[in-house]
Amino acid sequence: MKVLIAGGAGFIGSTIASACADHGIDTVILDNYVTGRAEFTKGRTAYEGDICDGGLIDRVFAEHPDIDAVVHAAALIVVPDSVADPLGYYRENVAKGVEFLQHLARNKCTRLLFSSSASIYRAAEDGRVDENSPIETLSPYANTKAVFESILADVAVAGPTKVVSLRYFNPIGADPKLRTGLQLRTPSHALGQMIDKHRTGGTFRITGTDWPTRDGSGIRDYVHVWDLALAHVAALRRFDTVTGTDPYRVVNLGTGNGTTVRELVTAFERVTGESLKVAEAGPRPGDTAGAYTSSTLAADLLGWRPTLSVEDGIRDSLRWVAKRDEVLGEG
């Protein structure tokens, strides 16, 4: 089996590529390296360019006519940035995505696996969501995912392309073999900030302490990126079965357990064996109380269940940070 991974030099896309390689799936990487890293494609077949470049997409398929499926993991993902630049996010995540679909259709691609987001849901009072939860987007980023999923659903109904959208929340950790990890030196998400403050002796800020959660801090579904990658492998292996009766299928990926930011701090301190300086602050633009998702359907359709814990994710994130500059050649 051979798959094209758009965004395959990014954090999630490169981890999917590693999981595919470990499970006998050949990969072809397409990335414009705006956020992805060329170092993550070392030893892999890779093309530099944009998903909206029709000539490049045609060349990829001409040189690899045996591509069986496409994983679409190319997107901008930072919520506050989407609030500041909504047009940029709609251009990158929706407009270019539509062009990509046209190029794939021209090249007779009929299987598309989309890396989506569970941030599009309106959560229940306890924070839980599932595939039947109502859609309520609270940021331009989330709305780009919801809008593009609507487009994908229409395309799938029209045929012949079939689509599986995997919706998930907050990936943490790194490839356990440390081939790839989060490429940003100082990421904006909670765990990245904790690691940065732990290394520098700074103060981690809990942004938002009056949310309707058990301790007032936001709640998230922190799922190990390697578990997510293995779910993509499972979806590729079972693609035709999963879409057998429905050309457009949505599957949530998560731990099934919400973790608040305060609980993440506690887990971080448990892993490091050291206290973290903490202060409270107001929410950032686009922030929400958060949610977590059941993965019952993923177990039924994909045979997938997460096996790595939040502590595993923290531990692998710390291991990756210690090796990041060696892999990416930065001092």
* Residues known to be catalytic: 141
CA 152: distance to chain centroid?
18
303: left (phi over 0), alpha (psi -120 to 50) or beta: left
In the numeric block, which tokens belong to residue 292?
A: 């977590």
CA 297: distance to chain centroid?
18
Cα dihedral across residues 246, 249, 255, 258: positive or negative: negative
Alpha-carbon distance 99 to 57, whole Å? 11
Residue recorded with tokens 């922190």: 222
Alpha-carbon distance 109 to 68, whole Å? 8
User: Measuring CA to CA, which residue among 176, 169, 210, 175 is closest to residue 190?
Assistant: 169
In the numeric block, which tokens belong to residue 319?
A: 């291991």
- DSSP annotation of 81 reads H
Helix and strand numbers (H, E) in the chain are 12, 15
In the numeric block, which tokens belong to residue 276?
A: 């973290």
Total residues found in the chain within this entry: 331
SS3 at position 246: coil
